Structure 1
Amino acid sequence: MNLKRRQFLLLTSLGAITTGLGWILTRQNTQSADLTEADTAIAANPLKKDLLLRFVSVADTGTGAKGQYAVARAMTLYHQKNPYDLVVLAGDNIYNNGEIEKIGEVFERPYQDLLKQGVKFQACLGNHDIRTANGDLEVKYPGFNMKGRYYTFSRGNVQFFALDTNGNADWKNQLAWLEKELSLSKASWKVVFGHHPIYASGAYGSNPDFIKTFSPLFQKYGVQLYINGHEHHYERTRSINGTTYLICGAGAGNRPVGKNEWTEYSTSNLSFAAYEVYADRIELSGIGTDNRVFDKGIIKLKSA
């Protein structure tokens, strides 16, 4: 495809979103799915009749640097074509030390287009966030919509559980709270998010203590999805005892990533994740700063 042809497609896509044209871009190699060129383009999809909820997740964002802005632009374009009003923000919201005075440059300006359109960010605390006042100022910041260091909220039949996974967390009370809330939940879909990984193939790797702590709880109470950051890459696991583990920590910077036997897809590319929730499944997409879908996965309501 010559330069003039690419420019024409780009201008047509930006100027005529209502026509439903997506960017037809060069196919990206994947590890887990043979995505066609049409699959990788972000199509214009209005809210579908059977769609219960659409949301996105991103983590390790708060640098205020060009990488964060690149991911934010991709999130905004996706919103234009696939409306959503919820972002799960999985920690390290303010680098390097959780200084709340930086909130304008690392949150409000990068995401201003989404915030102006009423998109709600639900945050949890990362290890960088607790370096100032133990993260208390972030917990109180209205834009992060935190009801505490750990909390729950619902969107229809989807219930979210936000955790403080830091080493100084109130683990005794938090774990008792989590089990109680999970046991009381009537939601069809249960999504837990925290900053630190449980299963990961990056610089830090999997956390054996977290596997022992959380995996039995997730299996017992039917948690279908755990979302986290800390590792600066994207990684989706297969269903492990009914739970898919999704890392979306390449929201501003990235690091190399490998893969394990339970890895369905991994990449170090700057990116975010998008989710479409239906009655019987969640359709999950990994989306890069080139506005292409590089990974697609299905989370079933109940799986082995």
Structure 2
Amino acid sequence: MVKAGYRLLFLGGLLSWLCLASPATSELQRLQHRVKPDGSLSFLVVGDWGREGNYNQSEVASQMGVIGEKLDINFVISTGDNFYDCGLTGEDDPAFFKSFTDIYTAPSLQKPWYNVLGNHDYRGDVEAQLSPVLKEKHSKWVCFRSFILNAEIAEFFFVDTTPFVNEYFTDPRQYNYDWKGVEPRDEYLFNLVKDVDSALKASSAKWKIVVGHHTIKSAGQHGVTVELEKQLLPILEANDVDLYVNGHDHCLQHITSTDSDIQFITSGGGSQAWRGKISSWKPEEMKFYYDGQGFLSVNMTGDRADLVFYDVFGQVLHKWSISKQLHDAA
């Protein structure tokens, strides 16, 4: 398609520039997670949750525990905004216990939590969330800026999306963002784009899933993140990514693409939701939208992925399957 062609040209030019202008960078942090004995993989996805149990966070957590046990999940993915309103103040911030360890207490949720950072996390002490001290406090906590999780049949590429957004630098309003480890911003972003593209190209996994906090396609309050649409989306399209999973908009939604096979999944209903915050979207792309609290489950084999959205009561809201053999979504 013409639109896709322009994106590929843009991508080629961008990466050529990066190769010439950017210093060499180390590869992204790589982690490993084994599949189940039958070769399958199950996990939950929740985002925008850390409110000390308020705004139905505790109720969502309870239902996550029920579904987590039913599916015998391998792990949980958090799509960011882990601690409201302004991240953690430090490694000893009691919010870590009040919003995380004291809330997600179900036995089935005592599995690794693979986390990305959201914009609210950047309003606090970012390095506190990245610190190994938190993992010592609770072994299930796993958080890096950007990293790769190799789960045998699937590879997950966790991308630090907050530094892409211009507004946080040009108009931060009353907030102070913690940019330690990010500045100089241009170099950070160029190296991140380059590393993600290289990792996706090198991946031989049957499934490629990219996780970030910010939306690429969304009919929610925040809508499309234009910086990611321009800088990250061409890479996803060029490297046959199956799913882009995000939070940021406090809703649950499933959007397809007319330009590629990518499924765009928002799971940002971990606590406070924004009732009535929905914009018009192409009906041929919008498969599901729910402006309430909830979460997502994914069960995968080598050739099939079953995805289900649940509400705060554990009721199924939307489900669909993707077949690698048919390259289509049902």
* Superimposed CA distance per residue, residues 12-63 of structure 1 (whole angstroms, 9 cap, x where no aligned partner): xxxxxxxxxxxxxxxxxxxxxxxxxxxxxxxxxxx99866211110000100
One-letter code of the match for 2:197?
A: E
- Residue 89 of structure 1 is matched in structure 2 by 78
Q: Is the 8 A contact 1:238 1:263 kept in 2?
A: yes
- Residue 235 of structure 1 is matched in structure 2 by 253
- Residue 24 of structure 2 is matched in structure 1 by none
- Equivalent position SS for 2:80: coil
- Is 1:137 paired with 2:128? yes
Q: Is the 8 A contact 2:250 2:272 kept in 1?
A: yes
Q: After the TM superposition, which of the residue ranges 54-63 and 166-175 deviates more from structure 2?
A: 166-175
- Equivalent position SS for 2:232: helix
User: 1:114 Cα deviation (Å)?
Assistant: 4.0
Would the alpha carbon gap of residues 48 and 97 (structure 1) be closer, same or farther in structure 2, given more than 3 Å must change? closer
Alignment equivalent of 2:271, drawn from 220, 227, 252: 252
Q: Which stretches of structure 1, 4 residues or longer, exceed 4 Å deviation after superposition? A: 47-51
RMSD, matched Cα: 2.1
* Superimposed CA distance per residue, residues 53-105 of structure 1 (whole angstroms, 9 cap, x where no aligned partner): 11110000100133110110010011222210211101000111111511000
User: 1:156 Cα deviation (Å)?
Assistant: 1.7
One-letter code of the match for 2:60?
A: V
One-letter code of the match for 2:69?
A: Q
Would the alpha carbon gap of residues 122 and 48 (structure 1) be closer, same or farther in structure 2, given more than 3 Å must change? closer
- Equivalent position SS for 2:145: coil
- Is 1:196 paired with 2:214? yes
In 2: Cα distance, 1:95 partner to 1:208 partner: 24
* Superimposed CA distance per residue, residues 265-285 of structure 1 (whole angstroms, 9 cap, x where no aligned partner): 000121000011122221110
One-letter code of the match for 1:97?
A: C
Alignment equivalent of 1:300, drawn from 293, 299, 323: 323
* Superimposed CA distance per residue, residues 227-269 of structure 1 (whole angstroms, 9 cap, x where no aligned partner): 1111000010124511101001011110134251121000012
In 1: Cα distance, 2:66 partner to 2:225 partner: 35
In 2: Cα distance, 1:250 partner to 1:162 partner: 19
User: 1:174 Cα deviation (Å)?
Assistant: 0.8
Mind listing any 5+ residue stretches in structure 2 that lack a counterpart?
A: 1-34, 164-178, 183-187
Pairing 1:147-296 to 2, within 5 Å after superposition: 148-167=144-163, 169=182, 170-240=188-258, 241-255=260-274, 256-258=276-278, 259-261=280-282, 262-296=285-319
Alignment equivalent of 1:52, drawn from 40, 48, 59: 40
- Residue 120 of structure 1 is matched in structure 2 by 112
Would the alpha carbon gap of residues 137 and 204 (structure 1) be closer, same or farther in structure 2, given more than 3 Å must change? same
Pairing 1:35-46 to 2, within 5 Å after superposition: none
In 2: Cα distance, 1:211 partner to 1:246 partner: 15
- Equivalent position SS for 1:57: strand
TM-score (norm 2): 0.73
In 1: Cα distance, 2:211 partner to 2:141 partner: 14
- Residue 103 of structure 2 is matched in structure 1 by 110
One-letter code of the match for 1:163?
A: V
In 1: Cα distance, 2:237 partner to 2:323 partner: 14
In 2: Cα distance, 1:190 partner to 1:84 partner: 19
TM-score (norm 1): 0.79
Q: Is the 8 A contact 1:244 1:299 kept in 2?
A: no
- Equivalent position SS for 2:269: coil
Identity level (%): 25
In 2: Cα distance, 1:93 partner to 1:195 partner: 10
- Residue 53 of structure 2 is matched in structure 1 by 65
Would the alpha carbon gap of residues 151 and 110 (structure 1) be closer, same or farther in structure 2, given more than 3 Å must change? same
